[in-house]
Amino acid sequence: MSDSVFSFRRLSRADKAAVMAISAKIWEGDDYLPSSFDDWVSDEGGAFNGCFVGERLVGFGRVGFVAPGHAWLEGLRKDPDAGVSGVGKALCLEGLRFLSAAEGLRSIRFSAYAHNPETIALNEAIGFRRLRTYTIKSKRLPGGADGKEPFGKPAAEAARGTGAERRVSRAASAADRSAALDSLRAGGWFDGFRLESWKAYPLEASPALRDGDAVFAASSPSGDAAGYLVGSLDPLKGQANVVAFSADGPEAAAALFGAFEEAAVSEGYRYFESICPRRGELLPTLDACGYVSWESEDDFLLYEWPPARLGSLPGGSAAG
């Protein structure tokens, strides 16, 4: 189908039922769009675009910003029952047209799942290039009212029998948080980006640690530092993120992950996720603490529009 058959406009609250109908068909009904919709349609700085054939919504996608000048493409969805082709490409190009009018644009990026070859091929054909590869590990603890099936294991259960416990406290002081950041960077985290909720926040324009982060510190029985964990809560996607961690062994890791899980569950969060670089014992530590891969490791792909081509974006502005 030719792109000229499609029309585009920004979605509004009146489109919620149509968006939810498509979202219900994504990931077996486990899509995050229901909790993100209201925030996206009210974001005046970005564009939550709908793709229409006549009056029928056949797909949508969002352009937002993870930091000033740093655009992020996300939420690209096509109605699997639409019976038309080219929706994903048309939405991506419409997002680039919107960004062609943005001032001070420094980067355009998005993340892709390694086992989604259609999305990868589409965006590489348009001109996006792969920048980094990471691994997603996650778990869902039992007890949620949504009835979703749990998977993985609680950290305390997964690490049972590892030996002496480590004491964990919240790292509240500036000195403690600075020590945590130094330790985490040495362990391979924050190499250009802070990663959470399927997004990559560029450290050149946003902080590695945020005021709302939960920073936990583990100490050995003798009082020496044994590790750190940075966690965050994302109400728009309904998940708790392990942003970064370090540990001197399984006991410290189990204590840190257990403390964060307890704190997140008390706030109503039961789905946990970490986007992890392939460094040292980071991935085995996640495995030991009950986290699992979806289909394989090395499944989080970070793409960007080549910086040299920022001046050659598709012309024109987004409709609506």
- Residues 77-112: pLDDT tens digits? 999 999 999 999 999 999 999 999 999 999 999 999
- Residue 317 inside a domain? The answer is no
State whether 110 and 202 are in the same domain: no
Lowest mean pLDDT among 21-30, 171-180, 291-300, 308-317: 308-317
Domain residues for the domain of 46 are 3-128+305-312
State whether 225 and 253 are in the same domain: yes
Q: How confident is the model at residue 15 (pLDDT cuts 50, 70, 90)?
A: very high
- Residue 35 inside a domain? The answer is yes
Q: Average pLDDT of 271-278?
A: 97
State whether 67 and 193 are in the same domain: no
Q: Please report how many Cα atoms fall inside a 13 Å half-sphere around the Cα of residue 86, on the Cβ side.
A: 13
Residues 225 and 247: their CA atoms lie apart, in Å, by 9
- Residue 213 inside a domain? The answer is yes
Q: What share of the chain is helix, strand, coil (3-state, %, to 5)?
A: 30, 30, 40
- Residue 318 inside a domain? The answer is no
pLDDT at position 2 over 70 = no
State whether 208 and 226 are in the same domain: yes
How far, in Å, are 20, 41, 122 from residue 25 at the CA level?
A: 9, 21, 21
Q: What is the pLDDT of residue 172?
A: 83
Q: What is the pLDDT of residue 143?
A: 87
Q: What is the CATH number of the domain that holds 193?
A: 3.40.630
Q: Average pLDDT of 209-238?
A: 94
Q: What angle do CA 42, 35, 229 make, to 5 degrees?
A: 110
State whether 230 and 87 are in the same domain: no
Q: What is the pLDDT of residue 273?
A: 98
Q: How confident is the model at residue 196 (pLDDT cuts 50, 70, 90)?
A: very high
State whether 187 and 258 are in the same domain: yes
- Residue 212 inside a domain? The answer is yes
State whether 144 and 283 are in the same domain: yes
pTM for the whole structure: 0.92
State whether 104 and 222 are in the same domain: no
Residues 187 and 81: their CA atoms lie apart, in Å, by 46
Q: What is the CATH number of the domain that holds 62?
A: 3.40.630.30
Q: How confident is the model at residue 74 (pLDDT cuts 50, 70, 90)?
A: very high
Number of compact structural domains in the chain: 2
Q: What is the pLDDT of residue 156?
A: 76
Q: Can you list the positions of beta strands (E) in the chain?
A: 7-10, 47-53, 56-67, 70-78, 107-113, 129-140, 167-170, 193-196, 199-202, 214-219, 225-234, 239-247, 271-276, 300-304
State whether 148 and 261 are in the same domain: yes
Q: Specify whether the backbone of 236 is left (phi greater than 0), alpha (psi in -120 to 50) or beta.
A: alpha
CA trace torsion 266, 169, 200, 234 (10° rounding): 10
- Residue 320 inside a domain? The answer is no
Residues 186 and 176: their CA atoms lie apart, in Å, by 16
Q: What is the pLDDT of residue 158?
A: 65
State whether 16 and 102 are in the same domain: yes
Q: Specify whether the backbone of 213 is left (phi greater than 0), alpha (psi in -120 to 50) or beta.
A: beta
Residues 96 and 102: their CA atoms lie apart, in Å, by 10
Q: Is 212 exposed, middle or buried (0-12, 13-18, 19+ CB in 10 A)?
A: exposed
Residues 8 and 318: their CA atoms lie apart, in Å, by 8
Q: What is the pLDDT of residue 318?
A: 40
Instruction: Please name the residue that has the structure tokens 């490791």.
Output: 297
Q: How confident is the model at residue 319 (pLDDT cuts 50, 70, 90)?
A: very low
- Residue 231 inside a domain? The answer is yes
Q: Do the beta carbons of residue 203 and residue 243 sit within 8 Å?
A: no
CA trace torsion 307, 310, 314, 316 (10° rounding): 150
- DSSP at 251: H
State whether 84 and 174 are in the same domain: no
State whether 153 and 119 are in the same domain: no
% the chain with pLDDT above 90: 82
Q: What is the pLDDT of residue 4?
A: 66
How do residues 130-182 score in pLDDT, each as one tens digit?
Answer: 999 999 999 999 987 777 899 999 997 765 555 556 789 998 899 999 999 99
Residue-by-residue DSSP string for 145-182 = TT-PPPBS--HHHHTTT--S--EEEE--SHHHHHHHHH
